[in-house]
Amino acid sequence: MNLPDLNPLLMSELRLSIMSMLYQEEEVDFLFIKEITKASSGNISVQIDKLAQANYIEVEKGFKGKRTRTVCRITPIGRKAFEDHYESLKQYFK
């Protein structure tokens, strides 16, 4: 049996969670990611940076009132990578 390669960047549980959220929502902010994943702020920041460096997500930093706000959005490259990874994973269950 010849199984497809999986995307190593999306094999991380936290990165896959972030990408799953972004695949479903137009944008997701940092606090929402933290609330849903229960991961530490530092770990989320590292994983967001890795996804941004791969051009899978766009990150916008700004303010909401007096508080800083970080918003993430999936890119077309990230959407395609997520879909390809999902399709590859399905092959492992056939």
Residue range 36-82, pLDDT digits in tens: 999 999 999 999 999 999 999 999 998 888 888 999 999 999 999 99
pLDDT band of 8, cuts 50, 70, 90: very high
53: domain CATH number is 1.10.10.10
Q: Are 77 and 55 in contact (CB under 8 A)?
A: yes
Other Cβ atoms within 10 Å of 29 Cβ, number: 15
How far apart CA 52 and CA 55 sit, in angstroms, is: 5
Q: Taking the chain, what is the end-to-end CA distance rounded to the nearest angstrom?
A: 10
How far apart CA 57 and CA 93 sit, in angstroms, is: 28
pLDDT band of 86, cuts 50, 70, 90: very high
pLDDT band of 17, cuts 50, 70, 90: very high
Local structure of residue 39 (DSSP, 8 states): -
Other Cβ atoms within 10 Å of 86 Cβ, number: 15
Say if 36 falls within a structural domain: yes
Q: How many domains does the chain have?
A: 1
**pLDDT number for residue 14:** 98
* Domain enclosing residue 55, as ranges: 8-89
How far apart CA 5 and CA 34 sit, in angstroms, is: 29
